[in-house]
Each structure stands twice: as structure tokens, then as C-alpha cells.
Homo-oligomer: A and B are copies of this chain.
């Protein structure tokens, strides 16, 4: 019952994209390879990757020796891109629109809804991070994000 949690789909999608970013320039990776290395149900991942293809993030090669590669440079694909491709616009509360502005629902009825600005601020904080973190960043930084510093298990 964890609150505000991202779906498995998004987690799997990001893991798969990062996986592909490590192979940039090399052979295509098959869905079976990614799925088993990352511990993702194969058929499920197949569907998720289709989404990513339709959004232009992944390129596919059919047939034997086929598989997937990144369609764009890892440095140009942000967490925000992937999250929104898979889940649609993020909004921490119904009253907050995708870009942190006020959306047109109940809240407008209550001028006294003092919460709005809090949700907006929260949303801006996370989206700023997701929009400024690329696949290349995590590939490179590997856990050394500003402010998070410690453990993170190098392997």
C-alpha cells in the first residue's frame, strides 16, 4: 500500500532503456536478454518496449539476430520523457496540471484551497529532477547524484 508510487511499467521501461544505453552503438538486444538480465517478465516487457518504440525512443530490428537499440542518444532522453511516454502526464494531485499549473476541477470552486501551492511546489521539485536527468547521466554518474551522495552499492 505504498503511496505515490510509480507503476511497474515505468520502472521496467526505465530499466530497459538504461540497459540499452549501456549497449549504445553495439548489437541490438533481444527482449529475452533484457528481461532475464533485469528480471522483468518477458511478455510484459515486450509490450512496454512497443510503447517506447511508438514514442520514438527505441528502434527495433526484426528477425533473427534482431532486437532493440536506442533510437536517440542517451543524453537526449530524460526520465520525464520516459515516465510520460508510459504513464501520461504526472500530477501529484487532481488539482495540479501536468506542468504544475492549476487544472480545472474542484479546486477552483474553493478559493480557500490553500493546498494547491503545496502540490504545485512538490510537483515542480520532482519534475525538475526528472526533466534534468538523462539516461546518460545515470549511466555515467552511477549513483553520484548531487545531494544523494552515499552508498548506492557499486558493484
**Using a CB–CB distance below 8 Å, which chain A residues touch chain B?**
1-8, 10-11, 14-15, 18, 22, 38-39, 79, 83-84, 87-94, 102, 106, 108-118, 120-122, 124-126, 129-130, 133, 138-139, 141-148, 151-155
Contact = CB atoms under 8 A, between A and B. Distances in A.
Contacts of A133: 118
A22 B115 CA distance: 13
Nearest to A90: B3
A4 B14 CA distance: 15
Contacts of A154: 111
Contact of A114 (B3, B18, B111): B18
A17 B128 CA distance: 29
B93 A6 contact: yes
Contacts of A113: 15
B14 A111 contact: no
B15 A10 contact: no
The 3 closest A-B pairs by CB, nearest first: A111-B155, A3-B87, A114-B138
